[in-house]
Structure 1
């Protein structure tokens, strides 16, 4: 597993960003796309259909974008993870502290709800009181899954030796990583 001090074995062309909800993976994926001049695909936009139902075309869409020569996306949704790991050459793992991710998820969820912000395909955050009644509410889901990637990412070094895995633990690590990409060092 690499850190920001370690040089990458190649210039990234197919990048997945892994992280718990609230870790900043979508934001970092966009930053990586800008730094490397690569197209970015947001997985939530592909996955969520109207009324939060999974889109039937989801895996076909993942298959299509991930077969391209260059791309950046998040590493999420169990049905897509293997395909993305198989095709990516670089994984950036945001292994951010739980208090940080949970604070971000709460802030993001409350802000989106108060602004009545439309997310993907007409979907909006659920009313805030449903955190108490809906076991799948984003805040409860984020808490329940916060450590999942600590089980999923480390084994990739053995099962996917082609995949350079860079572990970032804080925002300053991500900033340093982007600076290296901008400078053409990584």
Structure 2
């Protein structure tokens, strides 16, 4: 049974949407890592403050942790029992980011008002630059329940079966 869940994937893949749907099925509380790191003025808190906030969340008995910062991944992996990796095509992720421009979101403390070229480049290179390292880290935790979805349809079918 899932008690502490980690939802990972490229920005724009729909981690927060998946987390909310999982919350509706399981009643596990959601913690958005972006909310722990970012201030509403688009600045970040110090690494110490972030780590303190994260440690407090990780001590809770149940959660859905939404997000994957490389600097906090191992801390989350040590405590979780289940991992969902949303490994979607790059274009799906780019379109996911474009679709949320101008919309208030529960996972971010501000509204994205325009496309950020640097962020879009990060998404375009995620599969080659970040995903191999993420997979290598996940491979160090074979005792965790791990699910990888390659489309939103796959993820939604899984959620429908819960």
TM range, smaller chain = 0.7 to 0.9
Alignment length (residue pairs): 158
Q: Please, which runs of 5 or more residues in structure 1 have no aligned partner? A: 1-10, 182-186
TM-score normalised per structure 1: 0.75
Cα 1:150–1:176, aligned 2, differ >3 Å: closer, same or farther? farther
Inter-partner Cα distance in structure 2 for 1:36 and 1:175: 14
Q: What residue number does 2:138 align with?
A: 156
Note if contact 2:34-2:67 (Cα within 8 Å) is conserved in structure 1.
Answer: no
Alignment match of 1:88 (pick from 69, 74, 80)? 80
Give runs of ≥4 in structure 1 deviating > 3 Å.
Answer: 117-121
Higher radius of gyration, 1 or 2: 1
Q: Please, which runs of 5 or more residues in structure 2 have no aligned partner? A: none
Q: Write out per-residue CA displacement over residues 40-87 of structure 1, whole angstroms, 9 at most, x where no aligned residue.
A: 011111110143221232111111111111100123112211100111
Note if contact 2:100-2:112 (Cα within 8 Å) is conserved in structure 1.
Answer: no
Cα RMSD for the two superposed structures: 2.2
Alignment match of 2:17 (pick from 27, 47, 50)? 27
Note if contact 1:18-1:92 (Cα within 8 Å) is conserved in structure 2.
Answer: yes
Q: What residue number does 2:112 align with?
A: 125
SS at match of 1:156: helix
